[in-house]
Amino acid sequence: MTLVKLREKILLVSPLLIFLGIFLLFPFIVNILYSLSDVDFKTLRNINISGVQNYIKVWKDPDFWQAMRFSLKFALFAASLECILGLFLAIFLSPLLKKRSWLLAILMMPMMVAPSLMGLMYRLVLHEFVGPVPFYLWEWFGNSPAFLGGKNLFYTLSVIEVLQWTPFALLLFYVAYVGIPESIVEAAHIDGAGRLKLLQFISLPLIFPALLVGFVVRFIDSFRVFDNVFVLTRGGAGGSSKACLFIFTNIFFNSAK
Amino acid sequence: MKPFMHGLRWLVFLLAAFTMNFPVIVTLVTSLKSKAELSINPSLLIKAPSLSNYQQIFNMADRFDIFSILWNSIIASLIGAFLPLLVCLPAAYAIARLGFARSWLLPIVVNLRAIPLVIFAIPLYMLFQVTHLLDTRLGLGLILTLVNLPLTLVLLVNAIAEIPKDLDEAARIDGASTRHILRHVVFPLAWPSIATCLVFGFITAWNEYLFGLILTTRRAVPMTVGASFFFSASGGGVQWGVAAAVMILGTFIPSLLGIVMYRRISESLTSGAIKG
């Protein structure tokens, strides 16, 4: 491979580097400059550095910490629930899915829907007059909570997130689970391991890396979630309850005041 | 015991499939209810199915031009699917085969996935203002490219690493240039992964919302943002039937692609997640 000169190697990565330079490095530098200066929408193009006061301001802002806490709690809760449900479904349904793999396509459907549209769909699902969930709750129990209000908001958002992304965990764990070599399972059988023992000592340890990856990926994605929360809570209570929303509303609404 | 467990598994599957797809089912049902039925029947059963909501969408081109919005999404998503490939393929070759820039470029791009891109909203807005890319399909496509970079690069690096080394070494000894190898050895052999990248990138691009919201206003509005127009007329003014029909149209293309390609997508999604 010494045949390839350094110049050529650089040439190979240059399209990617140029793209990253424009769309990543530039905004990154501008962001740092902005964070150290006093700007609003009218003075975007002339930056005057004025120190770290913006950081101090954010540090002292209780709304920021509240948004951070909400995001952390949300991400932890949603990712855990997704992994638990995904793991259960992956293992319990694996005999079914092995024979009929097209069933996976049905379970994967929610992942293909845009999170923003998913959020809008839930506005329909949970709507007090046209939504079927409140309708059936009234029909069966004679009561229906305010899903997007007060304390319920956290759980409503979490359940929505979990229902859309449990398929991801399920898929990841299923692929890892069916990838366990048959010989290991058989050897454990011969040694007299029952179903539970097999799961505890063979299957779960072997798919542990996948579990970890699934949790981390889902945690990150839930932490930075924006679309569905935005379309669901815009204008309503708790508008800046999430970290990303906090950033967004601060940029586009507060500065416009 | 056996048939009982089998039945139980089916039951759990149906329950999971129904619950997770519930919003889509509700939206589909709602989109098929007439306006009169909507106001009296919020249940999951339709008494008199009608396509009037869909007709209404196609007849309101003066206020909401569904075709041009779909077209915006298609063009921007195509750019967002193909451009990452063009940008990443040579780099992926350098990383996977020549071991170049592996230690820093790969982590930088992969970690992009963990960053909430909203933090770049202001500088990118400014950049687009100066370059007149605001409210254009090309501008939106460029940002969608940024969104798709991490997964594309990881998938391509994996795909190229799996190609037997002998093949491109033989080509090189025969005097083929790197460009030649990329086009005639790597591209055909990595084609399954490339196709997956394209489809998955297209779906991801189609489903993006935030940058569509920030960077487009009228001419280049994508489907995800267009659908939310029906809700921003706040108060009680939401036409639920029409809104539901628009959401179904917005979900149709990515879902279809997902169903057709589910096997490859599930493989690449999981490999991308593991390596990433």
Residue A211: band (very low, low, confident or very high) from pLDDT cuts 50, 70, 90: very high
Please identify every stretch of chain B with a pLDDT value under 70, giving residue numbers as ranges: 1, 232-237, 268-276
Residue A22: band (very low, low, confident or very high) from pLDDT cuts 50, 70, 90: very high
Residue A189: band (very low, low, confident or very high) from pLDDT cuts 50, 70, 90: confident
| Nearest Cα to Cα of residue B46 among B55, B34, B58, B56 | B34
pLDDT at A256 over 70: no
pLDDT more than 70, % of chain A: 86
* Under 8 Å between Cβ of B251 and A117: yes
Q: How far is CA B108 from CA A15, A31, B271, in A?
A: 15, 18, 18
User: Is residue B17 within 8 angstroms of chain A, CB to CB?
Assistant: yes
Chain B nearest CA to A191, separation (Å): 23
Contacts of A115 in chain B (CB under 8 A): 207, 209
User: Is residue B253 within 8 angstroms of chain A, CB to CB?
Assistant: no
Q: Return the domain boundaries, chain B.
A: 2-50, 66-275
Fold held by A61-256 = MetI-like fold (1.10.3720)
More confident residue, A66 or A104: A104
Q: What is the mean pLDDT of residues A25-35?
A: 88
Residue A114: band (very low, low, confident or very high) from pLDDT cuts 50, 70, 90: very high
**pLDDT tens figures, B98-136:** 888 888 999 999 888 888 888 888 889 889 999 999 999
pLDDT at A252 over 70: no
Average pLDDT value over all residues in chain A:
85
* Under 8 Å between Cβ of B126 and A30: yes
Number of residues assigned to chain B: 276
pLDDT at A257 over 70: no
Rounded to 10°, the helix A115-125/A152-178 angle is 130
Cβ separation B122–A34 shorter than 8 A: yes
Q: What are the b/e assignments for B198-207, b being 16+ CB within 10 Å?
A: bbbbbbbbbb
User: Is residue A187 within 8 angstroms of chain B, CB to CB?
Assistant: no
Fold held by B66-275 = MetI-like fold (1.10.3720)
Cβ separation B143–A172 shorter than 8 A: no
More confident residue, B254 or A41: B254
Q: Return the domain boundaries, chain A.
A: 6-57, 61-256
Contacts of B227 in chain A (CB under 8 A): 116-117, 120
pLDDT at A27 over 70: yes
Chain A nearest CA to B51, separation (Å): 18
| Nearest Cα to Cα of residue B32 among B21, B15, B20, B47 | B47
Q: What part of B 71-100 touches A (C-beta under 8 Å)?
A: 86-88, 90-91, 93-95, 97-100
pLDDT of amino acid A1: 47
Cβ separation B90–A16 shorter than 8 A: yes
- Count CB-CB contacts under 10 A for residue B89: 25
Cβ separation A109–B24 shorter than 8 A: yes
Q: What angle do CA B193, A173, A99 make, to 5 degrees?
A: 80
Cβ separation B266–A175 shorter than 8 A: yes
pTM equals 0.89
pLDDT of amino acid A94: 93
Q: How far is CA B64 from CA A205, A245, B21, B105, B187, in A?
A: 54, 28, 28, 43, 41
Cβ separation A89–B118 shorter than 8 A: no
Per the listing, tokens 């699917």 go with B81
Q: The complex's ipTM?
A: 0.90
Q: How far apart are CA A174 and CA A165, in angstroms?
A: 14
Structure tokens, A170? 């399920």
DSSP string, A200-246: IIIIHHHHHHHHHHHHHHHHHHHHT--HHHHHHHTTSTTTT-SHHHH
Residue A174 CB partners (closer than 8 Å, separation 6+): A90, A93, A94, A97, A104
Q: What is the mean pLDDT of residues A205-225?
A: 91
Chain B nearest CA to A144, separation (Å): 14
**pLDDT tens figures, A60-70:** 888 788 888 88
pLDDT of amino acid A242: 67
pLDDT of amino acid B36: 86
Count of pairs with CB atoms under 8 A, one residue in A, one in B: 262
Q: How far apart are CA A217 and CA B155, in angstroms?
A: 16
- Among partner residues B17, B123, B240, which is closest to A107 by beta-carbon distance? B17
